[in-house]
Structure 1
Amino acid sequence: MKPKHLPYEIDPKKNRRHYYETYWKLVGLDLLQKHFPGNKGETLLDFGCGRGEVLSLYGEKGYDVTGTDADEECVRLSSEQGKAVQLDIEDPLGQFGENSFDYVVCYHVMEHVPTPIETIDILSKIARKGVVIAVPNLKTLTHVFSREVHADRVNEGHLQSWDHAHLQSLAERHGNLELIEWGFDTTILPVFNRFAPILFGQKGAVWLETKLFTKIFPYHGLSVLGLFRPKS
């Protein structure tokens, strides 16, 4: 489950790819606040907290956030942003308990776990109100014109991936969740993305890829990101 690819340090101001790693978390935050307003003091578990951005960003919005991760270094880094604990990968449900948090967010973690059905079922049992899940999107446009398949295009730590239909199927048919709404993060156009910073600058490229292109090609973003609720 340990995400070998995770950079422990990023610079969102200089690298727009690094910016996008935080941006999908902001998209998830907007979904939560849209459908569950009045969040002051509500509890939230960041399952696979990484560097801890959710702890600070969501904490600033009034959530009582706890982070958990299987990576000891991620727990250390996240602890600098808020409360973080080592994940018991053998028994996460026993560690936290059923209905123990109002919300659970799980950003780009599911692709690393060997048993996604078991994991998504655990998330649905921990959460009382909502679960936000984001995974890499199989339908990005980056390699749409390629006629070849190369293994090096897949991160070495990724065991599986989904498009929107398959993630919804996993969540609703096997995970005791139902979709509330999709969120859309960043759509990158092949070829153009190389020249965008030169033509429009860093800020301009970010605006195009997170606003304009995402509206035109919403289901071809970097992430498949959805807000779900546990079925009663």
Structure 2
Amino acid sequence: MELPFAGFARLHEFLKKLEKDTYPELPTQLHTEITSQQLDSLLAKYPLPPGAAILDVGCGQGPALDIFRERGYRPTGISLNDDDVAACRNKGHQVAKMDQSFLDYPPETFDLIWARHVIEHSIFPHFTLAEFSRVLKMGGIVYLEVPAPETACHHENNQNHYSVLNRGMWVSLLSRSGFQLLEQVNFNFTTGLGPDEYWGFVCRKQD
């Protein structure tokens, strides 16, 4: 069914309202440690070509961009938060203000998509994953990391978390979007609120 123009206009206005829910992603020790740990593991198991093009979706203030640049890759970041975009650009990174569900890049642009704690901010994650697949090269790798629902931290109640899904749903959506699941990673730790958990999914774009 074709969406009428008025429907697109309402969707656009709704997405603009949601943009106000964003907040700066200041670096934290926990997220910096997980980023470094997972990057080391990922790049050791799935080596990238020299100068590989990498998209850091929801790049925050650039902890992963820093590492990618240090290793000689060509990283690009996107974020909807003005403070984060400015912080990354001040460090010399190539970063655009862009919605993860509407990527302004040609098909098969990137060798790797790095997406830590971003897709739960999408109102339609299946569509968002389809966009990831569109701009990823065939055989390219995507790393998706999400918070588990209904932990002591109750990520489903966060201000701009709209899709805090269970593990099976993420696996299903990745498969439907053209990704082969290579491995899953669990992160279990304790916060001031109690036990918490993140899930990581390493996938390859397949035919």
- When normalised by structure 2's length, the TM-score is 0.78
Assess, with a 3 A threshold, how the Cα gap between structure 1 residues 113 and 90 changes in structure 2: closer, same or farther: closer
Q: Secondary structure, in 3 states, of the residue corresponding to 1:74?
A: helix
Which among 158, 162, 171 is matched to residue 161 of structure 2? 158
The answer to whether the Cα contact below 8 Å between 1:20 and 1:186 also exists between their aligned partners in 2 is no
Q: Secondary structure, in 3 states, of the residue corresponding to 2:78?
A: strand
Gaps of 5+ in 2: 1-17
Task: Indicate the residue corresponding to 2:199 in structure 1.
Answer: 224
Please give the alpha-carbon distance, in whole angstroms, between the structure 2 residues aligned to 1:105 and 1:9: 18
Any idea what the Cα deviations from partners look like across 1:168-220, whole Å, max 9, x if unmatched? Answer: 11111x211111112333422788x6xxxxxxxxxxxxxxxxxxxxxxxxxx8
Deviation, structure 1 residue 120: 0.5
**After superposition, where does 1:95-174 map in structure 2 within 5 Å?**
95-128=104-137, 129-138=140-149, 140=151, 142=152, 154-172=157-175, 174=176
Amino acid at match of 2:45: H
Amino acid at match of 2:108: N
Amino acid at match of 1:133: L
Using the aligned pairs only, state the percent identity.
Answer: 22
The answer to whether the Cα contact below 8 Å between 1:70 and 1:88 also exists between their aligned partners in 2 is yes
Which runs of structure 1 show a deviation greater than 6 angstroms over 4 or more consecutive aligned residues? none
Which structure has more RCO (C-alpha within 8 Å, separation ≥ 6)? 1
Q: Secondary structure, in 3 states, of the residue corresponding to 2:108?
A: coil
Deviation, structure 1 residue 90: 7.1
RMSD: 2.7
Assess, with a 3 A threshold, how the Cα gap between structure 1 residues 60 and 152 changes in structure 2: closer, same or farther: closer
Task: Indicate the residue corresponding to 1:180 in structure 2.
Answer: 182
Q: Which has the higher strand share?
A: 2
Q: Which has the higher helix share?
A: 1
The answer to whether the Cα contact below 8 Å between 1:2 and 1:112 also exists between their aligned partners in 2 is no
1:58 aligns with 2:68: yes
Q: Secondary structure, in 3 states, of the residue corresponding to 1:117?
A: helix
Q: Secondary structure, in 3 states, of the residue corresponding to 1:162?
A: coil
